[in-house]
């Protein structure tokens, strides 16, 4: 078997084969790829992820105690943080221009040499997970200088995009861990309360700003709801049967074939309506 089932697939190969009454293994790669493709299609329609997983999400404060995350239901919250403590100092010399940016994937160095050559260097959080690792990696790039100021996860570095040619700039991180009050798990809402009296029901307002809060949390379903599994089974079976009867698709490679099949599958209006509702409310309880 060459195709690997996604860790976040809505159903399993064994479950789909039972539903379709398939006992042979010759179609396993196609069926597995179909499950992955249909899962992606269902999640795009619903505009949410279903299988539980960890998230690190930047949220914009709106001045209220409520921080609304993108995924739900929330299972647990590890951390909510705010702040701009300098973590890495950085500068560049010898270029005609130099810019650094930070996003959820890592740090990107962009420079233009005096001869006009563009140089791009991508340093991922995966490869350099700490501020020390990241500073050392930046410092190793010709023309760039970086120094670690505090120890923190490079994943926590605040989003940034600025020029630092012949001047020192700073990559910051949210150093202030906040106290979490009530969590509306189904709605995906985290309420902040005063750290001075964490047992008090009084809430505090968030600071207004763009993507100025970091929330680390786990959300989704540890067990996928039965109706969603059934929907995935029906869509996969529909696509499989269409693909078998469409000779023009059979000349494609496995990946292209399964993609074409999945793209050709049309969900019913009722199925689409349910999925669209799931993009706005929690499942199972009108939350």
pLDDT value of position 223 = 93
3-state secondary structure of 215: strand
Nearby residues of 132 by Cβ (< 8 Å), 6 or more positions away? 148, 151
DSSP one-letter code for 152 = -
Q: Is 249 left (phi over 0), alpha (psi -120 to 50) or beta?
A: alpha
- Both tokens assigned to 59: 């949220």
pLDDT value of position 275 = 80
Q: Where are the domains of the chain?
A: 13-48+223-278, 53-82+176-219, 85-173
Distance spanning both ends of the chain, measured CA to CA: 41
State pLDDT tens for residues 221-268. Answer: 999 999 899 999 999 998 888 766 554 444 444 444 444 555 666 777
Q: What is the largest CA-CA distance in the chain?
A: 69
pLDDT band at 286 (very low <50, low <70, confident <90, very high): very low
State pLDDT tens for residues 118-140. Answer: 999 999 999 999 999 999 999 99
State pLDDT tens for residues 196-230. Answer: 555 555 566 778 888 899 999 999 999 999 989 99
Confidence check: pLDDT of 281 > 70:
no
Phi, psi of 85 (to 5 degrees): -70, 135
pLDDT value of position 264 = 64
User: CA-CA distance, 130 to 184, in Å (whole number)?
Assistant: 32
Stretch among 8-17, 42-51, 205-214, 258-267 having the lowest mean pLDDT:
258-267
pLDDT value of position 213 = 94
């Amino acid at each position: 078997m060459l195709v690997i089932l996604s860790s976040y697939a809505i159903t399993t190969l064994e479950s789909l084969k039972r539903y379709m009454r398939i006992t042979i293994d010759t179609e396993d790669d196609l069926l597995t790829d179909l499950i992955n493709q249909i899962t992606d299609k269902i999640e795009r329609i619903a505009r949410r992820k279903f299988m539980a997983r960890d998230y690190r999400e930047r949220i914009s404060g709106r001045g209220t105690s409520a921080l609304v995350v993108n995924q739900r239901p929330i299972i647990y919250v590890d951390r909510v943080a705010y702040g701009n403590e300098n973590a890495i100092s950085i500068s560049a010399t010898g270029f005609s221009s130099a810019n650094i940016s930070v996003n959820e994937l890592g740090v990107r160095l962009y420079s233009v040499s005096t001869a006009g050559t563009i140089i791009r260097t991508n340093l991922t959080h995966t490869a350099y997970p700490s501020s020390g690792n990241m500073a050392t990696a930046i410092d190793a790039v010709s023309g760039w200088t970086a120094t670690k100021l505090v120890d923190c996860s490079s994943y926590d570095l605040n989003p940034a995009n600025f020029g630092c040619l012949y001047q020192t700039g700073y990559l910051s991180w949210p150093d202030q861990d906040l106290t979490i009050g009530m969590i509306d798990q189904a709605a995906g809402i985290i309420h902040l309360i005063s750290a001075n009296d964490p047992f008090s029901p009084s809430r505090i307002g968030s600071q207004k700003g763009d993507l100025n809060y970091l929330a680390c949390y786990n959300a989704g379903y540890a067990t996928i709801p039965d109706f969603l599994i059934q929907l995935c089974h029906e869509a996969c079976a529909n696509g499989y049967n269409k693909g078998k009867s469409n000779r023009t698709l059979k000349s494609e490679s496995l990946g292209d074939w399964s993609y074409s099949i999945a793209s050709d599958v049309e969900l019913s209006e009722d199925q689409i309506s349910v999925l669209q509702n799931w993009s706005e409310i929690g499942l199972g309880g009108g939350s």
